[in-house]
Chain A
Amino acid sequence: MSRVEVRKTYKLYLGGDFPRSESGRSYEVLKPQGTFLANAVRASRKDVRDAVVAARKAQPNWASATAYNRGQVLYRIAEMMETRRPELASEVAAAEGKRGSDKQIDTAIDTFVWYAGLADKLSQIAGGLNPVAGPYFNLTVPEPTGVVGIVAPESPSLAGVVARIAPALCGGNATVVLASEAHPLPSIALAECLATADVPGGVVNILTGHKDELVPILASHGDVDAIDITGVEDSAIADTEIAAAGNIKRVIRAEGSPSPTEAIAFMEFKTVWHPKGT
C-alpha cells in the first residue's frame, strides 16, 4: 500500500510569520508541462500594506545592526539553504524543470555568501573622506534607502529573487518582495530558510500573487522608498515608474552579477561635515 504524501500549503512570509492572505484567495501554479502543481496565495492590497508595515518596523534595527552582524546573518541564510538544498532543488525542478536546477541552487547560495562578505566592506568601498577646501572633516557614508519593494524576475525562480534580495539586505534595507508569479513556490521555500536563519521578522516579506494587481500598489505606496523593477514586464514599466514618482521612489533594476554596485543601488549617501578646531 503506497502512502499518501502530506502536501505543503504555501503561504505568505510576512513579518516573520507565514500567514495566509487576509483575502483568502489563491491561484493555481503550474508545472513546466502545464499541469497543476499547487495553489499559491494570491496576496491582496492589504497584504502589501501589512508587509510594508512589517518592513518599516523591522528596518531600523536591521540597519543599525553592525555590518559584521548583517554579514553573519546573510551567511547563515546560505548555510540554511545548503542544509535544505534537496528541498530547494525539488521546488525549482518542479517549477522550471530539472535541467539547470542544481546550478541555480549553487548560484543562489553563492550569491548570499558573496554579499555576506560584502556587508562590512560597503562603507569602505562606497564612502570615504572628502578633501574639502577648508578646516572641516567631511565624510560620506552609504546608508540603506529604507523599505525597498522588489519585483522579482519570473525566472530563474530562486536565483532571480535571491539576486535582488541579497544586495538589498546587505546594506541594511528591509524588503517587500513580489515573487515570480509563474514560479512562486521556490520563493516560499526560500522564506522558510530565511525564517530559520536569524533574519529578523519583517526584514524580508515575500508575497505571491498577480503582479498586475500588486505591482501598482507597491509602486505607489507612500511608505516604500525604492522599487526594484527587475521583474516588471516591459509593458508595465512606464506605469510602474509613474506610480513610483508619487513619492520620488528610487527605481532600481538589476545590472548583472553580484557587485558592490548592485548593493549600492539600494543605498543613499550621507555626507557629514564638522569643523576642525581647538
Chain B
Amino acid sequence: CKKDFITITPQGQFLSENYYSNRDQAYTGLVGVYDVLRKNAGGFENMITFFNAASDDNYSGGGNSSDGAGIQSFANFTINPNLVPGSYWNDHYQGIFRANVLLSKIGAVNMNAAEKARFTAEAKALRAIYYFNLVRMFKNIPLLLEPVSANDIYNVTQAAPTAVYTQIEKDLSEAIPDLPNTVVLATEAGRLTKAAGQAMLGKVYLYDGKAAQAATQLALVNGPTPGQPNQYGNKLLANFADLWVFTNKFNSESILECVHTNQSNADWGFWGSSADEGNSVNQMVGPRSFAPTATYNGPDIYRAGWSFNTWTQDFYDAIKADPRFPSTVFDAKAYVAAGMATYIDGYMNTGYFIKKFLPLRSDQRTGGGTLELNFQQNDYIIRLADTYLLEAEALGATGTRAQALLDAVRARVGLTPVPVSLAAIKAERRLELAGEGHRFFDLVRWGDAAAKLGGRGFVAGKNEILPIPARELIGTKLTQNPNYQK
C-alpha cells in the first residue's frame, strides 16, 4: 500500500516500460531496428564510401586531405582510436539495442502469432547483420543480447570473435524459417525476406571459415540453376546498367537493399541521423563543382558532388575493357576534354568517378530539405551476382556448379566463360561489385590486403580491423585492438 502511494505512472508519454503493448507499437520498434540499415549509404560516415576509400580500387578523395579526418586516415592507414569515426561503432550498437529491446518486449505483445514470429525473425536477422558489420570492422566487440542495465554499463567486456560469429549464425538460422518468401512491395519493400536471411547467413559462414555451410545457404538463394530464377523468383537483371537506375528499386537481382527516399526532408541539422533517409553516397562521389560548359548543349545529366572515392588508375586499367566499364566509371576528364563540362580537381583526383552512384539531375528532390541530402537511389547490401560469386568461392572455386555460377555472372554482361579458379572469382568480384563497399573486406578475407594495400600504408596484423573508438575505452573494461594501443 505504501509503495503504491509513491509510485505514479506518467501520462501522455510512452515509456520503455509500457510501450510495445500492441502490434502497431511493436512495428514502430521494428522500424527503429531497420533504421540502422541506412548506415550503408546514409550520412557522411557511411559504409560504402568509407570502405571504398581503404581499397585498392578507390582513393579517399574529397575536397582536400583533411576533408573527413576519419575517411582520410583510413585510406592511408594512419587511422587511430581518436580518428576512427565513432558512428561506425555507435550506430550499429544502436540498432542492436533497439533489436534487443524489441526482442525482450515482443513476447508480451498481444498480436497475431505469425506476425510476431516474423517481427522476431526480422529483429534477430537485423541484429545479426549489425553484429556482422561490427565484428568485421572491429573484431573484438562486446556481445550484448539484451539492453544493458545502467549498473552494468561499465562492466561490459569484449566477446571472443568466434562467439560473436556463433551468435550471428544462431540469430540468422533462427530467423530464416519465419521470414517471408516474398514481401508485398507496396507496403513491405525493404523488409527482410528468406533470401536475405539465407544470403547473409551464407556470407557470414564464409567469413567464419565454414565454407560448406556457406555454400549450402547460398545455394538456397542462388537456386538450382545459376542464371535461372531461384525459388523466390530472384534472377540476375539482363542489363547490368539497369542495376543503377535509381527508379529500379527492389528489382529481381536485389536480395537486400538499403532504402532511401527523397521524402524525409533531410537537412544538414540531422544529416546522418535516424531521421535522414537520403543517399549520401550520391552526393559524395560526384565530381566537385561539376557543371556543363557554356557551349555544351547536350542533356544536363549529372549534378556536382564532393569528389570522394575517385577510382585508382589501377582499377581503371583493370575494367577499361570490361563491358561493365560504362556503368562503373565516369570519366570526367573525357567530359572536360570534349569541352562538355568543367569541374574542380578534388583531393586525389584521377578524373574517374563512381558512375554507379553519380548524383543525377533527374534524382534531384523537389520537396523539402537540402538538395544534397535527398537523393533516393537505393543501394544493395547484397545482390544475386554477389551471392553467386560468394557460393562459387565457398565451393572452393572448383567444380561444375562453381563454374556455372561464375559463368552466369559473366554471361549477364556478355562475357565468355573462363575456367573457374579462386583468381578468376577474385577478378570477377572486383569488377562486378566495384565501388559497392565490398573490396576492402574481400581483400582481408582472402588475405590479400597486405599485398594490395601495403603501398597505401596497410600494416598486416593491424589494419585488417579498425581501432576501437577511444571513447569506448574510457572507464570501461574494453581493450584496444592489437597494435592500435599507441
- The answer to whether A and B interact is no
Residues on A lying within 8 angstroms of B by beta carbon are none
